[in-house]
């Protein structure tokens, strides 16, 4: 046991000899030297590059989704504005029609009242004048 160097354990709960960690690191070093071209590291670099490419693709998809969402919001906003404009036009037309109807009704009532007043005044003048 004294000849085996002490390396940090992978699992703190593991109370066994730390030799497995040493063997794994030794195997990794042997693989690097055996390949001679650092193939083991290249494999890791390729995996990292693939992960980066996937992340970039995910970001691009998110950006496209955000653009589609914005376009959908613009379309919704345009539809809402169109509905509001139609409602305002209808309300204005209804108010104008009501004002015209009330004005005509008031004019007819005033004319009828004036005609009745003239008729009453005319009757009272003629009856006073003849008597």
**For the whole prediction, is pTM greater than 0.75?**
no
**Spatial contact of 21 and 10, defined as CB atoms under 8 Å apart:** yes
- The pLDDT assigned to 89 comes to 97
- The pLDDT assigned to 91 comes to 97
- The pLDDT assigned to 131 comes to 47
CA distance 107 to 118: 16
Residues ≥6 apart with Cβ < 8 Å to 130: none
The gap from C-alpha 19 to its chain's centroid, in whole angstroms, comes to 57
Residue ranges covered by each domain of the chain: 19-124
**pLDDT over 80 at 14, yes or no:** no
CA distance 21 to 14: 12
- The pLDDT assigned to 120 comes to 86
Residues in the chain: 131
In three state form, how does the secondary structure of 16-53 look? CCCHHHHHHHHHHHHHHHHHCCCHHHHHHHHHHHHHHH
Region 36-50: mean pLDDT is: 66
Check residues 32 and 1 and name the one with the higher pLDDT.
32
Give the C-alpha distances (Å, rounded to integers) separating 102 from 5, 49, 50, 81, 116: 105, 79, 77, 31, 21
**pLDDT over 70 at 103, yes or no:** yes
Check residues 126 and 48 and name the one with the higher pLDDT.
48
Cα 84–Cα 67–Cα 52 angle in degrees, nearest 5: 160
- The pLDDT assigned to 8 comes to 53
- The pLDDT assigned to 47 comes to 77
């Amino acid at each position: 046991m004294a000849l085996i160097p002490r390396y940090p354990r992978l699992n703190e709960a593991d109370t066994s000899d730390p030799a497995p960690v040493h063997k794994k690191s030794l195997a990794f070093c042997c693989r690097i030297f055996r390949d001679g071209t650092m193939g083991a590291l290249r494999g890791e670099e390729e995996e990292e590059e693939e992960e980066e490419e996937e992340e970039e693709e995910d970001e691009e998809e998110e950006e496209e989704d955000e653009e589609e969402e914005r376009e959908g919001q613009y379309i919704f906003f345009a539809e809402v504005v169109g509905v509001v404009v139609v409602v305002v036009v209808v309300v204005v037309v209804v108010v104008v029609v009501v004002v015209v109807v009330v004005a005509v009704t008031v004019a007819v009532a005033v004319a009828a009242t004036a005609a009745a007043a003239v008729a009453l005044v005319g009757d009272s003048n003629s009856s006073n004048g003849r008597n």
